[in-house]
Structures are given as structure tokens and as C-alpha cells.
Chain A
Amino acid sequence: MGWYNKRLAKSIWVFHVSASPCNNCDIEILDLLTPYYDIERFGIKLVGSIRHADVLLLSGIVNQKVGPMVQRIYQQAPKPVFVVGVGTCPSSGCCFNDSYNISQNREEFIPIDLYIPGCPPKPEAMIEGVVKLVEVLNG
């Protein structure tokens, strides 16, 4: 599988899952595609359909209402698929941590492989996170 993992590491297609975010991380994710950062030079492409995705970029707290939807999206993605939690929200809930609606155990909806903290994380931090994923894939 080493050969295949290297191919996968060089062509990561990203699908953007918004699980009730505040839109802050989403704007930073879109920054990655601008000419200044140009993430296509690593072979990373933003795709619109979940069927084409290799990595799900999850932004926002996963609350009780959106949780089953996120789970359904994860089940619809063709495996192997990785989930990257962007921002502080997926990891700790950020300032919404005391909210009545937040799902305390979001790992049971969607298994998150990698967290990129920051509110919002800088595009450089996101690139570093993706590079860590690529390093794991390359072994």
C-alpha cells in the first residue's frame, strides 16, 4: 500500500463540510486557493461533490442538529477518506463550549484524524496541517 499512499498524498481532493461554523474558518479555507497561497502546487484541489473527496475539512462546532447530517456526509464519502478539523471549534468547542446545543462527544458522529487549532487558523497553519497528513501517508 506504500505506493498507493504516495499517490494519495500527492493528490488530495478536499471537500468542505460546514458543521455550523461562524464562517470565519471558511473564509480562511478559501484563502488557501488564492494565488498567494496556491495550494494546487501540492496537488490539492477543492471539489464540490462528496463522492470525489479524499479529505473532509470540518469547520465549526458539531451540534446536535447538524451532527447526524455530518455523519451521513461521512458515510457517503468513498473510503479511504480523512477528516481534518479546522479551527478551535471541532477540537474544544471554542467560546461555544458551554452551549446547550453542542455535542460533547462529536467523535461518535465523525472520526476526526487531525486538528488544526486557531480561531481562525492562518492559511500557513492549515498548509502545515495538511503537510503533516502527507507525512503520515508517506510513512
Chain B
Amino acid sequence: MKVEYLFYLLVFPGLLFTGVVGLLVGWVDRKVSARFQYRVGPPLFQNFNDFFKLLGKETMIVKQSVHWLFIAAPLVAFAALVLLSTMIGSALFYQQNIGGGLIVVMYLLMVSSVMIILGGSSTGNVYSSIGAAREIKLLLADELVFIFVCLIPIIKSGYQIDLVQIAGIQESGGAFIRATSGIIGFILGILCIQAKMTLPPFHIPEAETELVEGPLMEYSGPPLAFWKLNHFMMWVVYPFLLVLLYLGGFKSEGLGILWFVLKYLAIVVVMIIIKNTNPRIRIDTALHFFWKILTPLGIIALILSVLGA
């Protein structure tokens, strides 16, 4: 039993699978973005080359930084993401509950944002601190809506917080996106993912043009490689979670694998389209968007789901 868990963690839904698929999906993102701009785009294994190149570079530690936090932040975020991908992946592919329910997932998803804040503010760089401060505000903006996004499937599955139970109820009773509250929740979920991954239009913390990657500015070498890998792993973790919560999960028999890949790619493509067609918004606009527009929508969806619609 223990050996199986180690396999889950290191190979199939965990580290190796999420890393490789994440780097490949990161390539899809870069390629599709390039085609949007009438460019050719990078070759297939570009992200692998970037990752291994960064692993071999020199690590520079800023003198006035908090050294242990500076190094620990990307590794803790990486560990949290590996654990998350194992939990979500084993609930999807093996119908096994490892480590806890949706509440643990919600907390672990916050860890990577918190680590970006800590790592960015540990360097002592002005741009990094501004980026970290903006990340805090963005976290404040999107967290409440993300809780609604997780609450709607809990209510619709009859107050289950177990990921396997949520997937199982959808398998017998139809995916939650068929209901009105499910549709609203799914749209909110995609927008929340966009903000949590700091993709455009919500790339406020790592604004390339004025903050030069914000919290990641002082990172070089292997820690930067792990930040980049974390970002690519989020391309797997967040859409898998949405597929599990709203689109009915994964069935191994028949055309189940094909359906699952299609659902996953649909979410990724919608995210890339949103990313490429929107300019960056200000931090106050983001707060306004999440608190005054999406939060009432989330409350409406919650009420609808309690009423059974």
C-alpha cells in the first residue's frame, strides 16, 4: 500500500506526469499565443530546454535577502503542487482518496500564492516587494470567488467534501455543468484560475513591462527553474480540478480517455484565448471585477444550487 502511494506521488498523477504534461501544455500555450500574433512560435521541447538550462545556471542570492526563505519558497510551492496533483489525479484516475477532501485542496492551492508572496518579499528588491504586494491584493480578490466555485459542487453533491464522492455522483447523475448553477460556477472557475495563475488579464503581480516579472525578479538558476515548473504544473492542476468538480471527471472504459483529454483541452484553449485577447487590468479594476461583479454572481449560483437548479 505504501509503495503504491509512492508511485502515485512520484510517477503517475504526481511529479513526473504533471511535470511533463505541464511543460508540454506550456508549449501549447506559447505556440497558440504565437499563432495569435502571426508568429511561428517555439519548438516542441522548448520548455524542457529552458528548465534544464536554468537548472545548470548559477544561483545568485541577494545579500540583504532572507536566505533560507528565498530558497525555500519555490521548493515549498513545488511540494504543495506535487501533493495537489497527486490528490486530484488519484481521485480522477484511481477513484482513491489520498490525504483529504476539497478543503485540503483549497488550502494547498493557496500555498503557492502565499509562497510567491513570501519569496518575493524576502529578496529586499523594490520591484519584488511591489509584485508581492500586488499578489496579496489579487489573492484577496479571487479567494472568495474561488471558495464559491468549490462550494457549488459540494452543495450539488449533497454536501460531500470528498473528491471521489463528487466525481462518483456526477458519474451516476450527470455532470454538474448541466445545471444553471453549474454553468455559472464553471465560468467563475475559469476566471478564478486565470487570476490564480496570474495569466493575462490578471498578470498584475508579474507585469513584465514595469515590474519585470515582479516577485521572480531576483531569482536565478535552479530556484527560478522551480518557479517556472510550478507555473507549468498549475496548467495541469487547475484544469484537472475544474474537470473533476464540474465536467464529470474521468471514465476509463470506452472513449473515456478521449473525452477526458477533450474536456481538459477545451478548458486550456478557453484560458489561452482569454489570455491573448485581453490587456492587463489595474489592481483596483481586478478587485472591483471580483468583489462587485463575480461575488454576487457566485451568491446567486449558490442560492440556485441550494434550490436544486
A, B from the same assembly: yes
Q: Is the CB of A51 within 8 A of B49?
A: no
Which residues of B have CB within 8 Å of A38?
A: 34, 39-41
In the complex, A35 has a CB within 8 A of chain B: yes
Q: Is the CB of B212 within 8 A of A7?
A: no
In the complex, A132 has a CB within 8 A of chain B: no
Q: Is the CB of B42 within 8 A of A49?
A: no
User: Shortest distance in angstroms between A35's beta carbon and chain B's nearest beta carbon?
Assistant: 5
In the complex, B99 has a CB within 8 A of chain A: no
Q: Is the CB of B60 within 8 A of A7?
A: no
A51's contact among B43, B56, B224, by CB below 8 Å, is which? Answer: B224
Q: Is the CB of A7 within 8 A of B42?
A: no
Q: How many residues of A contact B (CB 8 A)?
A: 20
Which residues of A have CB within 8 Å of B50?
A: 11, 43
User: Shortest distance in angstroms between A83's beta carbon and chain B's nearest beta carbon?
Assistant: 16
Q: Say whether chain B's binding surface is mostly helix, strand, loop, or mixed.
A: loop
Q: Which of B28-77 contact A (CB under 8 A)?
A: 30, 34, 37-43, 46, 49-50, 52-53, 56-60
Size class of the B contact interface (CB-based, 8 Å): 20 to 34
In the complex, A54 has a CB within 8 A of chain B: yes
Q: Is the CB of A52 within 8 A of B41?
A: no
In the complex, B124 has a CB within 8 A of chain A: no
Task: Write the chain A residue with the least CB distance to B52.
Answer: A7
Q: Say whether chain A's binding surface is mostly helix, strand, loop, or mixed.
A: loop
In the complex, A72 has a CB within 8 A of chain B: no
Count of inter-chain pairs, beta carbons less than 8 A: 75
Tell me the complex Cα distance, A8–B51, Å. 10
Given contacts A7-B49, A40-B34, A51-B219, contact A79 B58 (CB under 8 A): yes
Task: Write the chain A residue with the least CB distance to B37.
Answer: A35
Which residues of B have CB within 8 Å of A51?
A: 60, 217-220, 224
Which residues of A have CB within 8 Å of B284?
A: none
In the complex, A78 has a CB within 8 A of chain B: yes
Tell me the complex Cα distance, A41–B59, Å. 27
In the complex, B171 has a CB within 8 A of chain A: no
What 16 new A-B contacts, CB under 8 Å, besides A43-B46, A51-B217? A7-B56, A10-B43, A11-B49, A38-B40, A40-B42, A43-B49, A49-B213, A49-B216, A49-B218, A52-B219, A52-B224, A76-B60, A78-B59, A78-B220, A79-B57, A80-B58
Q: Could you write out 9 A-B pairs with CB less than 8 Å apart?
A: A8-B56, A35-B39, A41-B42, A43-B42, A47-B212, A52-B224, A76-B60, A78-B58, A78-B59
